[in-house]
Amino acid sequence: MNQAQNSMLEKIRQYGVSDERVITVMGEVDRADFVLPEQKQFAYEDRPLNIGYGQTISQPYTVARMIELLLPALPSMPPFSQMVLEIGAGSGYQTAILSRLFERVLAIEVIPELAQKARLKMNDSGFENVKVKAGDGKEGWEEYSPYDAIISAADAAEVPDAWVEQLNTGGRIVSPVRGEMVRLTKMTEGSFIKENFGKFSFVPLV
């Protein structure tokens, strides 16, 4: 790990991410491998970067914070024997981090070209517990449901019904909703605990 990557992780800690399970894995997955060649010099800066097709790779702090909210509240070490659905695979950066933390990751990307790039990246890098497809993330991925956790990298007007239906009891949804980070924990059928974690900026869920 180079000094710039160490500085990125230290900034994430300073911003309040305290789960070392997240920090450790983010140190193992090199963000520079998931950005465009002309953006590599900025790979470890704490800001979103363009990945083409009008999309961005989220800033490292945002990725870390969302995954911290998604992880089981257990003092154990990953990988957790849980299956995660990711909405908005983008370049595959967050997908790769999730794959180190959970037993299986299913990822949907609405832009076919990005889905193909993320799929090839996962295959070439040996992330064998990941499956990526192009599709409408609002519909979830019913074939492999129910999921223990669902995470979205796009701002929704409301949490789609499909995500709720495809979530296990006790499962968690972490997503920006109307610009605010939200975590929903499914207690029983139709019963949720909702928590808000402040304002974040994302591309809209389409």
Q: Encode pLDDT of 93-121 as tens digits.
A: 999 999 999 999 999 999 999 999 999 99
Say what the pTM is.
0.92
Q: Which residues are catalytic?
A: 58
CATH architecture of 3-199: 3-Layer(aba) Sandwich (3.40)
To the nearest 10 degrees (0 to 180), the angle between helices 60-70 and 20-28 is 130
Average pLDDT, the chain: 90
The two tokens of residue 168 are 């296990």
Return the pLDDT at 154: 82
Q: Domains of the chain: which residue ranges? A: 3-199
The two tokens of residue 129 are 């517990």
Q: What are phi and psi of 53, to 5 degrees?
A: 60, 25
Q: Is the peptide bond before 146 cis (omega within 30 degrees of 0)?
A: yes
